[in-house]
Structure formats: C-alpha cells, structure tokens
Amino acid sequence: MTTINSLSGGKTSSYLASNYKADVDMFAMVCIDNHNAAGWLRYNKKLLQYANDKLEKFIPEYGEFRATAEDPIIIQTMMDLEQKIGRNITWVRGISYDVLINKMGFIPNQIKSFCTTKMKLEPIFEECYLNYGTDIEMRLGIRYDEPDRLEDIGTSFKFPVSCNLYGQCRQNHQEIEWRKLSFPLEEDKIMHPHVVQYWKDHNDVVFADDSNCQMCFWKNEQQLRKNFDKNPAVMSWAGVAEDIQGSTFKKDISILDIKKLGLQLDFNFGTGAENCKSGYCGG
C-alpha cells in the first residue's frame, strides 16, 4: 500500500508532512491563467520558475503557470517544506480557475462549490490512480479539534472511463473506489495549540497569513477584506470575474463591495475557510 500525505500549504498539513513520513507527499496548486491576478509574483522570476518546474508535465495541457488564487507566498512555503522534510513534494494541478468559471458560466458558491472538486480533488485522483492504482492510504491533515471536517469525505471518485462514438459523444462515468483515508493528527489528539507551538519552535518554513484561495466563499467578510490589503491583485481578479458572470462568491455581497468595508481590527484573522468540510482546502 502506498501512503500519501495530502498537503495544502497550511501549517497543519505541513505539520503532518514534517512528523508523519509517507511514500508520497502531494500538493495541488490552484492556478489562474490571467497574469493580472499574479500581483508581485509577476516580478519574482525565482518563484515563478520554481512553480513551473514543479508543474512541468502539465504545461502541454494547461500552459505555463502564471498566477494562483492563493497567497503567492505558498510557493515559498512548499519550497521551504520540501527542504525541511528532505523528500520530494509532488505538485499537481487541474484546470485554471478563470477557465473553469468561463466553462461553467457562473461563480462557485456554498451551494455549488465545484472549485475544490475540479482544481484539487480531480488532479489528485488522476495522479494517484494513474501512478499508484487503488491500493492507497491517503493521510489528511485534520486535527483532533476539527471533528466537523471529518464529515462527508469520500473514498470514491466518479470519473469518465469511455466516450460514446454516436450521438453527442457523451462520456461514460464510473464510480471508482480509489483510496483508504487516515487521520494521524486526529488519532494522536493533535490540536491547534500543538501545531502553533511546533512552528514557533521550528521557524524554517514561511507561511501565508491566510492560506487557501484568497476569495473563498467560506471565509468571513472581514478576512476577505483583509486579503484585499495583502493580495489586491487576486482579489481584484475575483471581483472582475463576478462582474463578468453576474454572480458572486458570497451569497449577499460582492467582492468589490467587501473592499469598501471597514476593517475590524479585533477580528481573528488567518483562521482560513473554517466552514469548509472538503478535507483538502483547510490546514
């Protein structure tokens, strides 16, 4: 059985990689083709080159990496983490966020959150299934104090296995049972204070102030407002995407209206997408 650590670039999954050795460490990068979303990353040739080197095998299908929906510092995070653990971290990617939105014709939201499936779960499944088969133990970085995130995490994936040669040439899908799940941090009763203290003692990896997609609809409006200060390029890209599609990430407020909010200084920033139960974006 092949053991795989699923990494998100946050402190919890990086704790997992640092303390629980696996056969494979895997990270899915959420990409954006529009270079205007890159911000300062456009001028950091070192990080751009590193990301393109890690995603080299995907260039024929998707083109070169230009920007990410996350804080671009995540590239430095994964670079530092790879050096720390002394093992190669396998990067994967799926369709770019902007291309996906144009293809679907609307903005993902809490009701229709196709983003995680298409840009994280699907490329991870493809990499695992094609290279390691179905004899996989996938470790997710979910802590003992995150019981809600243990809900609704599946072990199967619906994937097209053939295509009809008649009519509209529709794809035929098959439900594939492709992995067993394990939660080492939950089993060992690792909680948030343990992770915080670990990275205070081991300050050899740089982390984003707020991990995961900066405009994520699971995040509080105050966190999204803060992200405008930290990463205005990707937040502005999200606002323009909403205008073009005529729909919004959040239910009752647009990204550009969030920019106009006052910043609540006593808000607990950097907690990520607390309500997300995907098992991939958190930590």
DSSP assignment of 184-228: HHHHTT--HHHHHHHHHH---S---SS-S-TT-TTS-HHHHHHHH
Residue 238 lies in a domain: no
The pLDDT value given to residue 168: 74
The pLDDT value given to residue 279: 47
Residue 267 lies in a domain: no
User: What does the pLDDT look like over 108-120, one tens digit per residue?
Assistant: 999 988 999 999 9
Average pLDDT, the chain: 93
Residue 49 lies in a domain: yes
How far, in Å, CA of 25 to CA of 7, rounded?
A: 7
User: What letters, b where the CB count within 10 A reaches 16 and e where it falls short, cover 255-278?
Assistant: bbebbeeeeeeeeebeebbeebbb
Domain enclosing residue 196, as ranges = 2-213
Confidence category of residue 37, pLDDT binned at 50, 70, 90: very high
Residue 239 lies in a domain: no
The pLDDT value given to residue 271: 64
For the chain, percent of residues with pLDDT exceeding 70 = 95
CATH of the domain at 94: 3.40.50
Residue 55 lies in a domain: yes
Q: What length is written for the chain? A: 283
Confidence category of residue 277, pLDDT binned at 50, 70, 90: very low
Close Cβ partners of 19 (under 8 Å, ≥ 6 residues apart): 198
3-state secondary structure of 86: coil
pLDDT at 220 over 70: yes
Between residues 189 and 162, the one the model is more confident about? 189
User: Among 146-160, 175-189, 232-246, whose mean pLDDT is lowest?
Assistant: 146-160
Q: How many domains does the chain have?
A: 1
Residue 262 lies in a domain: no
Residue 229 lies in a domain: no
